[in-house]
Amino acid sequence: MSSYSGLFDLLGMREWCDEDKKPSLMSLGKLKGGEANWYDVKFPSLDNLHEACAKVPQTRDFTAGIEDGFLAIRPVLRTVLDPLTQPLSWALDGALWLFTSAPWWLLVPVLFGLCVFVTKSWKIGALVLSFLATFLFIDHYDHAMQTLAIIFVCTLICVVVGVPLGIAMSKSDRLQRAITPILDMLQTLPTFVYLIPLIFLFKITEPKLYGLAIILYAIVPVVRLTNLGIRLVDPDVIEAAEAYGLNKRKKLWGVEIPLALPTIMAGINQTIMMSLAMVVIASLVSAPGLGTLVLDGINNLRLGVGFVAGFAIVLLAILLDRVSKAALDRVNATQSNH
């Protein structure tokens, strides 16, 4: 680092740099008396600058500072977030109790009837019955229902929060510019990164820990596609609605949302699938369901357990995808008829 040492010497900062410098062993290059080649000059990163000036913090000092800062504000964050997120824990606990306590001979017909009602398709209903029967046959029914309960709660919250947020973004370019970077960050963060700050904030046994991770990961599509769907409504239709004297509220509920509904439903479909993907990863932080069986197969090298659980997750994904797409097709058909 002779080039950077010379830079600090030139700036007259040598005494300041070496003020807290501790004696260290000489590098192998110095012992050999070797000189660095001009093409070996390294980028002035924190670690490289620290070698030339002991006052410059190292990268590990930088990351440790971030951790210390987060731990310093943790009590305040918990004080604010605990009451706000506690209803999420109650909702998850309640859904898990309902889906696992209801006997199979009651819950299976209810799910079958609900899917037929939503899709208006007996074929989809038969598919749902066959998949649920498969879960029962391989003794993965309880775990599948736990996963389904978590997806149900998290998707519902994503829709309740995401659709109004998408509508607000469609009505304000300034709000869209402010929220889009946040959505970009949530969409590009690796799935495991969502768990890191939440583990520091909440106890690993609290359902809201994995619930928040799933919601933050899965909410992006419904927000984006709601915003996009309303913005893509034909301006001529909007102009006609205004000519009929519709106010903003009636225009939104009577014209914009019905025309944007297919796009919004596509966003909900993607949110459901992303919730399923995240709930498997959230098994690392005590989320129950099929993900725990996959984790057990990985940790204990139990190939059969992991393979069968993975197969059950695939069946559940197909089930959720077919039901949501059939509902979307029904919405599209209704729009076409009108």
Higher pLDDT, 328 or 86: 86
Tokens found for residue 305: 């357990």
Q: Which of 112-116, 122-126, 246-250, 322-326 has the lowest mean pLDDT?
A: 246-250
User: pLDDT tens digit string along 282-316?
Assistant: 988 888 999 999 999 988 888 899 999 999 999 99
Comparing 159-168, 243-252, 269-278, the range with the smallest average pLDDT is 243-252
Give the model's confidence band at 338: pLDDT under 50 very low, under 70 low, under 90 confident, else very high. Answer: low
What's the pLDDT at 20? 65
- Report the C-alpha gap between 167 and 249 in whole angstroms: 12
Mean pLDDT of the chain: 86
Ramachandran angles phi, psi of 233, nearest 5°: -60, 135
The arithmetic mean of pLDDT across residues 243-272, rounded, is: 89
pLDDT at 139 over 80: yes
The predicted pLDDT at position 86 comes to 92
72-337 folds as: MetI-like fold (1.10.3720)
Look at residue 182 and tell me whether its pLDDT is greater than 50: yes
pLDDT at 65: 86
When pLDDT is cut at 50, 70 and 90, the band that residue 54 belongs to is: confident
Kindly list the distances between the CA atom of residue 87 and the CA atoms of 90, 130, 316, in Å, as whole numbers in the listed order.
5, 34, 27
Which is higher by pLDDT, 3 or 58?
A: 58
Q: Rounded to the nearest 5 degrees, what angle is found at the Cα of 14, between the Cα atoms of 11 and 18?
A: 150
- Does the pLDDT at position 42 exceed 80? no
> How far is the C-alpha of 51 from the C-alpha of 36, rounded, in Å?
14
Confidence (pLDDT) at 218: 94
Q: Is the pLDDT at 233 greater than 70, yes or no?
A: yes
User: Higher confidence at residue 42 or residue 3?
Assistant: 42
Question: From residue 108, how far is each of 128, 131, 135, 229 by CA, in Å?
Answer: 9, 10, 11, 35
pLDDT of residue 112: 94
Q: What is the pLDDT of residue 1?
A: 44
Q: Average pLDDT, stretch 181-185?
A: 93
Say yes or no to pLDDT of 175 above 90. yes
> Mean per-residue pLDDT for 79-98?
93
DSSP state of 253: I
Residue-wise pLDDT tens digits, 6-38:
777 777 777 778 776 665 544 444 444 445 565
Per the document, the length of the chain is 338
Identity of the amino acid at 124: I
- pLDDT over 90 at 103, yes or no: yes
CB under 8 Å to 138, separation ≥6 — which residues? 308, 312
| pLDDT over threshold 80, residue 161 | yes
Q: Considering only CA atoms, which of 132, 138, 102 is closest in space to residue 308?
A: 138
Would you give the DSSP letter of residue 194? G
Looking at per-residue confidence, does 217 or 338 come out higher?
217
Ranges of CATH 1.10.3720.10 domains, the chain: 72-337
Q: What is the rounded average pLDDT of the residues 199-223?
A: 91
